[in-house]
């Protein structure tokens, strides 16, 4: 029987009303209804379709409308709305954004090709001549062409193969051209879109949709960070080496408890130095947040992370967040396993200290290739001893530990009752994928496996 004290241990104290959290269906259902409304708008404004050219042209119309709606949805997903970031999770929103981006680019290309083909069939001409006619004779088609090329270009650089070859900052700023493309496409829709040229209500509703999402973007991406910077006045308190290529940055500020940050979450940090002011990179909290202090721990993977070790005390800091749903709120079971790999130990370390658990119910497995890559050894040992939690290290190469260091056999040898645990997993993508597959084979239900990718 579960006692009242045990339930409180799982849920934790109710210090304040929890922040609003959206669930996936709160996002997906409105998107589906919006897409249906767009198709209904096209259907309402479409007269009888006659002939092959008319079919092609109307297919181009509906794909264009859906592409315009998809653009708004993609911006809303990345507007950093707190209820979505805390409830759905930044990594899931990013995956939806990436998938939706592919669909949008496909719709844009299909729209252009179908319209050109349909007009060419109706005018009894070839597609090359019709393309020239559209570019020269129709208002805003040239701007729409530029918008389409920008979107295709952003789609190419966002593909996984291309993304891996870029610095985060390069990809991020190329991605900003999406906003220019959406602005150009919006003008094109009103200038030549049959559904908007003759319908004032359609123009008003479509404009209201774009304005509302633009307002959310402006508020949460620009106004809120600026307000918080003035309110909390964060500055670097100190930088301390944690091991080869790893440093912890302590950030001091005022009224930081008002941020309601939770262990497991991250901020996008902008350090106002000559070399770093222009980049806002995501780093997780590596210690429980305090009313006047936050800590992040970073391993050197590029220019930005390497420069953090040279920060001077007093450097002003802008922080956007907190973001992410990799928190105690996802927990459903009494027993918990925290599984970390590499730099994924940073949010795991904060959870290890704070997740409510009775003695014997909390375990941490830390996977690393070499002991030089292991950070927080003394802190983790102290936490494990004070909380009567289990701490296990899996350190070594595949040659030393076997082909699958996180195989079901290895995990169940460490925790024979593994299937009775909630499991939090954080690490490099390859390690996370392999770990989740092993956990599933070991009998852990998917709904009890919690992970969040920080590779955006």
CATH number at residue 246: 2.40.30.10
Inform me whether the pLDDT recorded for 373 exceeds 80.
Answer: yes
Domain end call among 211, 228, 245: 228
Residue 70 lies in a domain: yes
Q: Give the pLDDT band of residue 169 (cuts 50, 70, 90).
A: low
Range of the domain at 91: 24-228
How many Cα atoms occupy the beta-carbon half-sphere of 414 within 13 Å? 23
126, 219: one domain? yes
What are all long-range contacts of 212-217, with beta carbons under 8 Å and residues at least 24 apart?
213/72, 213/75, 213/76, 213/79, 214/75, 216/76, 216/79, 216/81, 217/75, 217/76, 217/79
Residue 8 lies in a domain: no
Closest CA to 34 of 65, 61, 79: 65
Residue 11 lies in a domain: no
Q: Which two tokens stand for residue 415?
A: 């925790």
Side by side, the strands of the sheet bearing 266-271 are 281-284, 266-271, 317-323
Min mean pLDDT across 81-85, 141-145, 235-239, 398-402 is at 398-402
Length of the chain: 456
210, 332: one domain? no
Q: Is the peptide bond before 143 cis (omega within 30 degrees of 0)?
A: no
Domain end call among 195, 228, 261: 228
Q: Which two tokens stand for residue 303?
A: 């220019």
82, 166: one domain? yes
Alpha-carbon span 22 to 12, nearest angstrom: 20
177, 82: one domain? yes
Over range 250-261, report the average pLDDT: 94
Alpha-carbon span 127 to 121, nearest angstrom: 8
344, 375: one domain? yes
Inform me whether the pLDDT recorded for 16 exceeds 60.
Answer: no
Q: Which two tokens stand for residue 211?
A: 């304005």
The C-alpha angle with vertex 229 and arms to 227 and 230, in degrees rounded to 5, equals 65
Min mean pLDDT across 96-110, 177-191, 342-356 is at 177-191
Over range 20-36, report the average pLDDT: 87
Return the CATH number at 392: 3.40.50.80
Closest CA to 325 of 257, 264, 282: 264
Neighbours of 123 (CB within 10 A): 12
Number of domains in the chain: 3
- Cα distances (Å, whole numbers) of residue 352 to 243, 356, 390, 453: 20, 9, 10, 18
Inform me whether the pLDDT recorded for 78 exceeds 70.
Answer: yes
Residue 351 contacts residue 295 (beta carbons within 8 Å): no
Q: Which two tokens stand for residue 93?
A: 């929103």
114, 204: one domain? yes
128, 221: one domain? yes
Q: Give the pLDDT band of residue 416 (cuts 50, 70, 90).
A: very high
Residue 366 lies in a domain: yes
- Cα distances (Å, whole numbers) of residue 120 to 96, 106, 161, 320: 36, 21, 36, 50
Neighbours of 224 (CB within 10 A): 15
Over range 208-226, report the average pLDDT: 92
299, 379: one domain? no
Over range 196-224, report the average pLDDT: 89
Q: Give the pLDDT band of residue 5 (cuts 50, 70, 90).
A: very low
Tokens 């597959």 belong to residue: 437
Alpha helices by DSSP H, listed for 200-265, are 200-218, 224-232
Residue 383 contacts residue 410 (beta carbons within 8 Å): no
216, 256: one domain? no
Residue 408 lies in a domain: yes
Residue 18 lies in a domain: no
100, 113: one domain? yes
Residue 3 lies in a domain: no
Domain end call among 228, 259, 294: 228
305, 273: one domain? yes
Residue 447 lies in a domain: yes
135, 179: one domain? yes
Query: Model-level pTM?
Result: 0.77
């Amino acid at each position: 029987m579960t006692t009242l004290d045990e339930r409180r241990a799982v849920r934790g104290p109710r210090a304040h009303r929890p922040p609003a959290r959206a669930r996936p269906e709160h996002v997906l259902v409105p998107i589906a209804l919006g897409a249906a409304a767009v198709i209904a708008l096209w259907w309402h404004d479409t007269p009888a379709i006659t002939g092959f050219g008319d079919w092609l042209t109307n297919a181009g119309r509906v794909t264009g409308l859906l592409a315009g709606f998809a653009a708004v949805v993609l911006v809303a997903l990345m507007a950093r709305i707190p209820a979505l970031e805390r409830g759905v999770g930044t990594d899931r929103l990013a995956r939806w954004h990436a998938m939706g981006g592919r669909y949008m680019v496909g719709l844009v290309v299909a729209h252009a090709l179908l319209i050109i083909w349909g007009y060419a069939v109706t005018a009894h001409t070839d597609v090359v001549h019709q393309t020239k006619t559209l570019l020269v004779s129709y208002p805003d088609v040239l701007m729409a062409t530029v918008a389409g090329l920008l979107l295709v270009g952003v789609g190419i650089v966002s593909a996984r193969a291309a993304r891996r070859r870029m610095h985060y900052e390069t990809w991020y700023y190329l991605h900003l051209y999406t906003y220019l493309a959406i602005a150009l496409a919006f003008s094109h829709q009103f200038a030549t879109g049959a559904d908007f040229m003759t319908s004032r209500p359609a123009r008003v509703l479509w404009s209201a949709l774009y304005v509302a999402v633009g307002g959310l973007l402006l508020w949460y991406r620009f106004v809120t960070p600026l307000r918080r910077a003035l309110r909390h006045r964060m500055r670097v308190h100190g930088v301390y080496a944690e091991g080869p290529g790893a440093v912890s940055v302590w950030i001091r500020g005022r009224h930081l408890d008002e941020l309601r940050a939770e262990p497991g979450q991250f901020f996008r940090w902008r350090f106002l130095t000559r070399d770093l002011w222009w980049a806002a990179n995501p780093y997780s909290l590596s210690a429980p947040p305090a009313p006047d202090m936050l800590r992040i721990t970073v391993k050197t993977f590029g220019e930005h992370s390497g420069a953090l070790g040279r920060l001077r005390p007093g450097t002003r800091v802008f922080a956007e967040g907190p973001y992410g749903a990799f928190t105690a709120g996802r927990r459903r079971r009494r027993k918990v396993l925290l599984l970390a790999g590499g730099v994924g130990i940073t949010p795991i370390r904060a959870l290890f200290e704070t997740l409510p658990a009775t003695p014997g119910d909390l375990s941490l497995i830390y996977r690393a290739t070499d002991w030089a890559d292991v950070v927080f050894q003394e802190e983790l040992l102290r936490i494990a001893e004070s909380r009567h939690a289990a701490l296990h290290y899996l350190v070594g190469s595949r040659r030393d530990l076997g082909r699958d260091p996180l195989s079901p056999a290895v995990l169940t040898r460490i925790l024979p009752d593994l299937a009775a645990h909630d499991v939090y997993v954080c690490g490099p993508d390859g390690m996370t994928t392999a770990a989740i597959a092993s956990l599933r084979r070991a009998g852990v239900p998917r709904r009890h496996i919690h992970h969040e990718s920080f590779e955006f």
